Amino acid sequence: MIRVEPPREGSDAARVADVEAVCFGAEGWSEAAVRAELDGVPDTRHVLLWLARGEVAGWADLMVVGDVAEVMRLAVLPSGRGAGAGRALLRGLLDEARRRGSERVLLEVADDNVAALALYRGEGFVDLSRRRAYYADGRDALVLALPLTM
């Protein structure tokens, strides 16, 4: 079940920060960082939560500024992966980007993130550029783009 635009309550930020820690380790966003994103809803942010048995098991965060949207975050707890949650969250963000009139959607992804790359490319994202040593551990990031206007 996806809950759209969660209320800005402290517990949501705490649960999302737990997901961040599990999914991204030291690079996961803190509760304060997550709360700052939730504070941007709905002006510049659109946030979706993936709930499993009532608990936050994944989340997705879109930034929309001008005519460009950017996927800021997409994460699903390992126990919930492989069941369509990631794709549903991503498609929810893309629907919102279209609804807001975005012309394209951008995102950054580590060049060795096989699962995420397969998901994004499967939804039509194409490579735009490479950011060398973008991450703290020295991995490159790929910048992917999805044009929304035809």
Ligand X SMILES: CC(C)(COP(=O)(O)OP(=O)(O)OC[C@H]1O[C@@H](n2cnc3c(N)ncnc32)[C@H](O)[C@@H]1OP(=O)(O)O)[C@@H](O)C(=O)NCCC(=O)NCCS
- Interface residues toward ligand X, by CB under 6 A: 23, 74-76, 81-87, 109, 113-116, 118-119, 122
Work out how close the CB of 54 gets to ligand X at its nearest, in angstroms, rounded to a whole number: 18
DSSP code of 5?
S
Cβ-based nearer residue to ligand X, 83 or 133? 83
What angle in degrees, to the nearest 10, is found between the helix axes of 31-39 and 10-24? 120
Distance CA 22, CA 2 (A): 20
Work out how close the CB of 113 gets to ligand X at its nearest, in angstroms, rounded to a whole number: 5
Q: Which residues pair with 142 in a beta bridge?
A: 109, 130
Cβ-based nearer residue to ligand X, 23 or 148? 23
Cβ neighbors of 97 (< 8 A, separation 6 or more) are 62, 64, 69, 105, 148
Work out how close the CB of 62 gets to ligand X at its nearest, in angstroms, rounded to a whole number: 13
Cβ-based nearer residue to ligand X, 42 or 122? 122
Cβ-based nearer residue to ligand X, 40 or 80? 80
CB-nearest residue to ligand X: 86
Work out how close the CB of 58 gets to ligand X at its nearest, in angstroms, rounded to a whole number: 7
Q: What percent helix, strand, coil does the chain show, rounded to 5?
A: 35, 35, 30
